């Protein structure tokens, strides 16, 4: 993708803002929101990756939970360092995704959606019923990440850079995959599975790959979540959270696998904050805004450029219109 | 196990099961015909219950008439929702699902703010027991079973014998071809939504004297509905019936024998069913949404 | 063409992101810099505004706090302070609760918190309130709240300590009862309460035949009731049940299943809610706690509270009474310490204790040696009890504060005073 000067400067400015955010934002509360935002973005990216192959999942929260609980147990019961538990949790989630995925990815379509929901429900119930995993009260007192040198993970700034790193890692890996042959295979599977098959693309293997990688990123950020929050309880990882994750992609734009979830998560995380005016009626307003956005911007926020372009193009005369199309 | 115990569990299972069938049928109708996965379906059920309560307790209307009027109110409300929201994004499953989530948020909190925090209940229209031989069965539950049965028969008649029903089935099979045949698909979508939500509202009214009426009752019911759909298949009415009865019976008998583990057992059974029959017991595997 | 698309895409994205972040920063800055003209004390809370008890507690505080401010507020070292109360919705969830606490502590800079209800949000916010030394008087039900590691949080509701006094009463009302079955919701509260009540029941010589857990959202209790009845126990107890219509449905189902023994409940049922779903016969004889506002001769505090509430809202609701002891504890703590330093006050009352007045009567902080906590961290109070007769809750007796604490010591062991 060739960039012009405008894009380069914009990206640099954006990059600087993101990297120096803790210096600009002094309030730990707002940093907390940004950190939660980053977590939600990664979860949204997870959904989007699966969606790029045409699979809709409402079970992302289950893998988030596996990563969180896995990491907490590895550190608290086995005494591992957080830095070891982080990748391990992701790998464990990946293995479980491999096993489950092999079973459910075979039946795409609505059946798959339903199966992901069942997985989410079973995981939620199991985490609540099993006393060893803390039961309904969850696990408390999960330790902070082990200090690296002088970085002690007490202030939000340290956590921010860690989650930023994880987010960028996820974005980088996703971007690499989307631009590669794998990404092209995914897109073709989404567009027309039968046709893709005739071209020799193995639907099952590519979808399973997406499933595993998407779940691993959820697991990765789950581990971060556990050690950032300090407590985890089964209620957080419900089907409703998975559905929210889906909304991030829908709001941002389903066709934009990277930027879509970013915008969608931004809206869903920050808008309720602005709406704090009526504490009791906040969900009513958020629900209303959601409906408005879905109706008026069905392609997501990122479809706005398209729509304004075609709108302005419609205003131009015929000849100018033809010229602007090239 | 004594006959008495068995009958009690059977009647309980049937009664709850039939209610699930009713509500799930509404959901399946909306999903199959109008292509809307209505996450707010539980809220229509809740509205039906509240409307029945308002009519019955506050306006002192006779119970049966209250249910009918409440269903009308819910139908009207569903029609408005359809026209304002779903009409614009019809056909797109994901967008409709997202919009229904927004509606669900609004309705649930709206009910809490509007109706207040107090939980409500209705006295039973039928109290007492029927005794057949040595076995005592609560009249209330029998009434529920019979009512639901009657409504399901009515639904069957609607779908199979009336023009509208045939139109709905046609649209469900293939929307484009149905349109080519001259069927006004937009109206059919609207009707499907109205009838589907009316079923939920009706169930809410029937349930009102049995269970409590709270703004959050929709959410819990929705989860059970999902399970019915999972077991029975998302697009099959017969599946809905079988699924609802299976779930009702499993919970009734299962709880007695297994206690709290019955939920996990239920989920596991569902999981296993899905592995072998991914579309549910009666569903087909649909290639991609 | 594709290039233009992505240009505009990145451009739009960038501007949108920048705009949102800009608004975000600005809003944060403005709040942090708000000037303080009047001497106020910021007090925070998070409540589950999606539940009845949360909304009712909010309504109750909206009466108590303005009245307190109008009467002069706090007078500490000669200077008077009005309370600036900040409340956020925690939706009874850990995630929302944690965000709300972060906001209260870091943005609004509160040093005191009161009246949180749900264990999940309380525990989620613990790491912050503890590390920032915010004194927190909470309700909650989980014993994890009063773990010895915590230094600034105090359980001010009797949720954890009301069972032993209850069973003292049970022995008086049902002297011949030997067996009991528990019916409990399958959530953190239900399981914790059930475990505790087993210990208590057995300490009083009543055998627990079975504990039945139901999923939190259950409405159909017929199967559970059938199963519970099959044990033919003398009593049924409902640890951790929620006070509304769901409880009424449980009683109705038990009656329908043929159970005619005694019913015991630690919580006060909402009478108008349970009578709406269950017949008088089904409710008859239920032994339960009675709120201080409903006893035949309520204390002046209780009477005033009820009057003020009904004047503003019309219809009375008891739903908040379990949770507002935190408010009374808070005012008493500050008055006694004559200081506004949360750390000092917290340490003071943790080592020396606190006694204060609530609608139910006298309350005091107690230690929890059974949980290895030798600081004053939990609460016992006077309790009143009633039995339902003909659809109405009739007063049958009280347990004094002393008896209450002694009952707890007897069951759980150790010195609580």
User: C77-92: per-residue pLDDT in tens?
Assistant: 888 899 999 999 998 8
Q: Does residue B107 fall inside a structural domain?
A: yes
Chain C positions contacting chain B at CB under 8 Å are 50-53, 55-56, 186, 212-215, 217, 219-220, 222-224, 226-227, 230, 244-246, 248-249, 256-257, 270, 272-274, 276-277, 279, 317, 319
Instruction: Please tell me which chains touch A, using 3 or more CB pairs under 8 Å as the contact test.
Output: B, C
Query: In terms of domains, do A74 and A158 share one?
Result: yes
Q: Does A272 touch chain B (CB under 8 A)?
A: no
* Segment (H or E) for C307: helix C300-313
Total domain count, chain B: 1
Tell me the pLDDT of chain A (326 aa) as tens digits.
Answer: 556 788 788 888 888 888 888 888 878 888 888 999 999 999 999 999 999 988 889 899 999 999 999 999 999 988 888 999 999 999 999 999 999 998 888 876 777 887 888 889 889 888 888 888 887 778 888 888 888 877 788 888 889 999 999 999 999 999 999 999 999 999 999 888 889 889 988 889 999 999 999 999 999 999 999 999 988 988 889 888 898 898 888 888 888 888 889 988 988 888 777 776 666 777 788 888 888 888 888 777 777 777 777 766 666 655 555 665 65
Q: Is the pLDDT of residue C405 over 90?
A: yes
Contact present, B245 and B57 (Cβ < 8 Å): no
Q: Is A19 inside a domain boundary?
A: no
Asked whether the beta carbons of C360 and C292 are under 8 A apart, the reply is: yes
Is residue C97 domain-resident?
yes
**Tokens coding B2:** 């004594």
- Residue C330 is part of which domain span? 40-160+318-380
Residues C154 and C174 both lie in one domain: no
Whether A270 and A290 share a structural domain: no
pTM (predicted TM-score): 0.82
Residue B216 has a pLDDT of 81
Same domain, A268 and A287: no
C149 and C68 together in one domain: yes
B226 assigned to some structural domain: no
| Structural domain count, chain C | 2
In a domain, B121, yes or no: yes
Model pLDDT, residue B10: 87
Q: How confident is the model at residue C343 (pLDDT cuts 50, 70, 90)?
A: very high
Helix, strand, coil share of chain C (percent; to 5): 45, 25, 30
Question: Does residue B247 sit in helix, strand or coil?
Answer: helix
The interface predicted TM-score of the complex, written ipTM, equals 0.80
Are A46 and A214 in contact, with CB atoms under 8 Å apart? yes
What pLDDT shows up at residue A207?
A: 92
Residues C56 and C114 in one domain: yes
Note down the domain range covering B77.
21-218
Question: Of B120, B124, B109, whose CA–CA distance to B213 is shortest?
Answer: B120
Note whether C114 and C228 are same-domain residues.
no
Phi then psi for residue A138, to 5 deg, are 80, -170
Does a structural domain hold residue A12?
no
Q: Cβ A24–C99 below 8 Å, yes or no?
A: no
Residues of chain A with Cβ-Cβ distance to B268 below 8 Å are 122
Structure tokens at A245: 């994750």
Instruction: Quote the DSSP letter at residue B57.
Output: I
pLDDT, residue C18, reads 60
Question: Considering the domain boundaries, does residue C410 fall inside one?
Answer: no
**Nearest residue of B to residue A190, measured between CA atoms:** B288
Model confidence band, residue C6 (pLDDT cutoffs 50, 70, 90): very low
B268 in a structural domain: no
Instruction: Kindly report the nearest CA distance between residue C103 and chain A, in angstroms.
Output: 5
Yes or no, beta carbons of B121 and C277 under 8 Å apart: yes
Residues A165 and A260 in one domain: yes
**A270 part of a folded domain:** yes
Q: Would B267 be classed as within a structural domain?
A: no
Edge-to-edge strands, sheet with C355-358: C355-358, C361-368, C373-381
Tell me if C365 sits within 8 A of C376, measured CB to CB. Answer: yes
Residue C254 belongs to a domain:
yes
pLDDT tens for chain B, residues 1 to 289? 677 778 888 888 898 899 999 999 999 999 888 888 889 999 999 999 999 988 888 888 788 888 899 999 999 999 999 999 888 888 778 888 888 988 998 998 888 888 877 777 777 777 777 777 667 777 888 888 998 999 999 998 988 889 888 888 888 888 888 888 888 888 899 999 999 999 999 999 988 888 878 888 888 888 888 888 888 877 778 888 888 888 888 888 877 777 667 777 777 777 777 777 766 677 655 544 3
Q: Is residue C417 part of a domain?
A: no
**Alpha-carbon distance B153 to nearest alpha carbon in chain A (angstroms):** 28
Residues C241, C151: one domain?
Answer: no
CB C161 within 8 A of CB C404: yes
Residues 184-203 of C with CB under 8 A from A: 186-188, 191-192
Query: How far is the C-alpha of B229 from the C-alpha of B246, rounded, in Å?
Result: 11
CA distances from B173 to B32, B236, C369 (A): 9, 11, 69
Helix axes A259-274, A239-252, angle to 10 degrees: 110
Among the candidates A259, A274, A289, a domain finishes at A274
Do C281 and C171 belong together in one domain?
yes
Torsion angle of the four alpha carbons A190, A196, A197, A200, in this order, in degrees rounded to the nearest 10 = -130
Q: Is there a domain that residue B263 lies in?
A: no
Give yes or no for B58 touching A (CB within 8 A). no
The verdict on B256 touching C (C-beta cutoff 8 Å) is yes
Structural domain boundaries, residue A313: 281-326
Number of domains in chain A: 2
What is the pLDDT, as a whole number, of residue C26?
Answer: 54
- Does residue B273 belong to the interface with chain A, where contact is any CB pair within 8 Å? no
pLDDT of residue C1: 39
Residues above pLDDT 90, as percent of chain C = 50
Question: In C40-132, which residue ranges form alpha helices assigned H by DSSP?
Answer: 52-70, 94-102, 119-131
CATH number for the domain spanning C139: value is 3.40.50.2300
C29 has a pLDDT exceeding 50? no
CATH number at residue A85: 1.10.3470
Same-domain check for residues A240 and A295: no
Domain identity same for A54 and A35: yes
Residues C150 and C189 in one domain: no
pLDDT per position as a tens digit, C177-188: 999 999 998 877
Identify whether residues A262 and A285 lie together within a single domain: no
User: What part of C 72-131 touches A (C-beta under 8 Å)?
Assistant: 87-89, 93-95, 98-99, 102-103, 105-107, 119-120, 123-124, 126-127
Kindly state whether residue B286 falls inside one of the protein's structural domains: no
Please check whether residues C260 and C326 belong to one and the same domain.
Answer: no
In a domain, B135, yes or no: yes
- Sole residue written with tokens 């606490």: C101
Buried b (16+ CB within 10 A) or exposed e, C17-32: beebbeebbeebeeee
Do A286 and A270 reside in the same domain of the chain? no
Q: Is residue A286 part of a domain?
A: yes
| Chain A positions in Cβ-Cβ contact with residue B94 (cut-off 8 Å) | 56, 246, 250, 254
pLDDT tier at C34, thresholds 50, 70, 90: very low
Q: Is position A9 within any domain?
A: no
Q: Are C73 and C123 in the same domain?
A: yes
Q: Is the minimum CB–CB distance between A290 and chain B shorter than 8 Å?
A: yes
* Residues B128-186: tens digit of each pLDDT: 777 776 677 778 888 889 989 999 999 989 888 898 888 888 888 888 888 888 888 88
Q: What is the predicted pLDDT for the residue at C143?
A: 84
Q: How many A/B residue pairs have CB atoms within 8 Å?
A: 128
What residues of chain C, 140 to 159, have a C-beta less than 8 Å from chain A?
142, 144, 149
**3-state class of B54 per DSSP?**
helix
- One DSSP character per residue, A210-261 reads HHHHHHHHHHHHHHHHHHHHS-B-GGGGSHHHHHHHHHHHHHH-TT-TTHHH
**Do A239 and A290 reside in the same domain of the chain?**
no
Is A140 part of a structural domain of the chain? yes
> Burial of B165 by CB count in 10 Å (0-12 exposed, 13-18 middle, 19+ buried)?
middle
Residues C152 and C182 in one domain: no
- pLDDT for the residue C329: 94
Residue C405 falls within a domain, yes or no?
no
């Amino acid at each position: 993708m060739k960039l012009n000067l405008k894009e380069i400067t914009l990206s640099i400015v954006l990059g600087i803002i993101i990297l120096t955010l803790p210096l600009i934002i002094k309030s730990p509360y707002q940093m907390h929101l940004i950190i939660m935002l980053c977590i939600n973005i990664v979860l949204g990216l997870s959904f989007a990756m699966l969606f790029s192959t045409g699979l809709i999942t409402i079970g992302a929260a289950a893998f988030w939970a596996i990563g969180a609980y896995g990491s907490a147990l590895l550190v608290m019961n086995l005494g591992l360092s957080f830095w070891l538990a982080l990748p391990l949790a992701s790998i464990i989630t990946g293995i479980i995704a491999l096993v489950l995925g092999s079973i459910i990815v075979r039946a795409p379509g609505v059946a798959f959606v339903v199966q992901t929901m069942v997985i989410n429900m079973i995981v939620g119930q199991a985490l609540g019923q099993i006393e060893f995993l803390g039961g309904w009260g969850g696990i408390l007192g999960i330790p902070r990440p082990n200090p690296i040198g002088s970085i002690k993970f007490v202030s939000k700034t340290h956590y921010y850079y860690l989650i930023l790193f994880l987010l960028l890692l996820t974005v980088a890996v996703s971007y690499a995959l989307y631009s590669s042959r794998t990404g092209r295979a995914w897109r073709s599977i989404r567009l027309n599975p039968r046709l893709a098959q005739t071209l020799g693309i193995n639907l099952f293997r590519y979808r399973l790959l997406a499933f595993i990688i998407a779940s691993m990123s959820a697991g990765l950020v789950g581990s971060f979540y556990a050690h950032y929050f300090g407590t985890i309880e089964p209620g957080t990882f419900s089907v409703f959270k998975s559905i929210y994750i889906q909304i991030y992609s829908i709001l941002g734009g389903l066709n934009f696998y990277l930027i879509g979830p970013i915008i969608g998560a931004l809206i869903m995380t920050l808008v309720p904050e602005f709406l704090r005016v009526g504490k009791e009626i906040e969900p009513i307003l958020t629900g209303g805004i959601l409906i408005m956005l879905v109706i008026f911007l069905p392609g997501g926020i990122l479809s706005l450029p398209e729509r304004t372009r075609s709108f302005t193009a419609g205003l131009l005369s015929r000849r100018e219109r033809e010229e602007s199309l090239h | 196990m004594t006959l008495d115990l068995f009958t009690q569990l059977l009647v309980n299972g049937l009664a709850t099961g039939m209610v699930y069938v009713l509500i799930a049928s509404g959901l399946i109708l909306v999903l199959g015909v109008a292509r809307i996965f209505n996450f707010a379906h539980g809220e229509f059920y809740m509205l039906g219950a509240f409307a029945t309560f308002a009519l019955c307790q506050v306006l002192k209307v006779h119970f049966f008439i209250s249910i009918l009027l409440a269903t009308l109110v819910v139908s009207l409300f569903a029609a408005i929702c359809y026209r304002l929201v779903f009409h614009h994004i019809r056909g797109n499953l994901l967008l409709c699902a997202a919009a229904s989530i927004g509606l669900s948020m609004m309705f649930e909190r709206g009910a809490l703010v509007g109706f207040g925090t107090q939980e409500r209940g209705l006295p039973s229209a039928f109290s007492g027991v029927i005794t057949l031989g040595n076995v005592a069965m609560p009249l209330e539950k029998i009434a529920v079973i019979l009512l639901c049965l009657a409504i399901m028969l009515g639904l069957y008649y609607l779908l199979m014998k009336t023009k509208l029903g045939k139109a709905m089935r046609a649209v469900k099979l293939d929307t484009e071809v149905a349109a080519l045949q001259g069927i006004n698909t937009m109206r059919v979508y609207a009707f499907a939504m109205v009838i589907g939500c009316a079923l939920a509202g009706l169930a809410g009214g029937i349930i009102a004297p049995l269970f409590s009426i709270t703004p959050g009752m929709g959410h819990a019911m929705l989860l059970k509905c999902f399970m019915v759909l999972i077991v029975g298949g998302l697009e099959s009415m017969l599946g809905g019936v079988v699924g609802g009865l299976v779930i009702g019976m499993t919970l009734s008998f299962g709880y007695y024998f297994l206690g709290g583990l019955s939920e996990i057992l239920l989920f596991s059974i569902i999981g296993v069913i899905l592995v072998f029959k991914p579309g549910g017991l009666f569903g087909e595997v649909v290639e991609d949404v | 063409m594709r290039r233009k698309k992505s240009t505009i895409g990145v451009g739009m994205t960038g501007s949108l992101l920048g705009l949102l972040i800009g608004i975000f920063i600005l809003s944060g800055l403005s709040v942090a810099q708000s000037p303080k003209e009047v001497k106020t004390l910021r007090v925070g809370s998070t409540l589950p505004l999606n539940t009845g008890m949360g909304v009712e507690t909010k309504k109750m505080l909206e009466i108590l706090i303005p009245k307190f401010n109008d009467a002069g507020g706090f007078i500490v070292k000669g200077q008077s302070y009005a309370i600036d109360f900040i409340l956020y919705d925690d939706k009874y969830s850990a995630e929302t609760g944690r965000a709300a606490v972060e906001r209260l502590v870091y943005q609004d800079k509160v040093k005191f918190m009161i009246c949180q209800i749900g264990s999940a949000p309380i525990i989620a916010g613990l790491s912050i309130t503890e590390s920032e030394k915010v004194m927190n008087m909470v309700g909650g039900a989980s014993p994890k709240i009063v773990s010895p590691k915590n230094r600034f949080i105090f359980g001010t509701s009797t949720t954890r300590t009301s069972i032993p006094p209850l069973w003292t009463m049970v022995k008086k009302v049902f002297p011949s009862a030997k067996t009991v079955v528990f019916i409990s919701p399958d959530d953190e509260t239900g399981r914790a309460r059930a475990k505790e009540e087993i210990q208590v029941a057995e300490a009083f010589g009543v055998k627990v035949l079975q504990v039945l857990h139901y999923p939190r959202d259950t409405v159909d209790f017929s199967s559970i009731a059938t199963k519970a009845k099959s044990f033919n126990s003398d009593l049924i107890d409902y640890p951790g049940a929620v006070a509304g219509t769901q409880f009424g449905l449980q009683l109705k189902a038990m009656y329908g299943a043929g159970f005619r023994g005694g019913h015991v409940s630690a919580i006060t049922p909402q009478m108008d809610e349970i009578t709406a779903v269950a017949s008088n016969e089904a409710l008859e004889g239920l032994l339960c706690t009675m709120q201080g506002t409903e006893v035949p001769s309520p204390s002046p505090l209780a009477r005033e509270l009820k009057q003020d509430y009904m004047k503003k809202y019309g219809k009375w609701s008891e739903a908040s009474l379990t949770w507002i002891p935190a408010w009374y504890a808070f005012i008493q703590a500050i008055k006694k310490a004559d200081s506004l330093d949360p750390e000092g006050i917290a340490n003071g009352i943790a080592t020396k204790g606190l006694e204060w007045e609530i609608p139910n009567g006298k309350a005091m902080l107690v230690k929890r040696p059974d949980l290895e906590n030798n600081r004053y961290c939990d609460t016992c109070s006077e309790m009143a009890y009633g039995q339902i007769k003909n659809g109405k809750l009739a007063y049958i007796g009280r347990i004094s504060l002393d008896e209450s604490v002694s009952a707890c010591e007897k069951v759980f062991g150790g010195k609580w005073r």
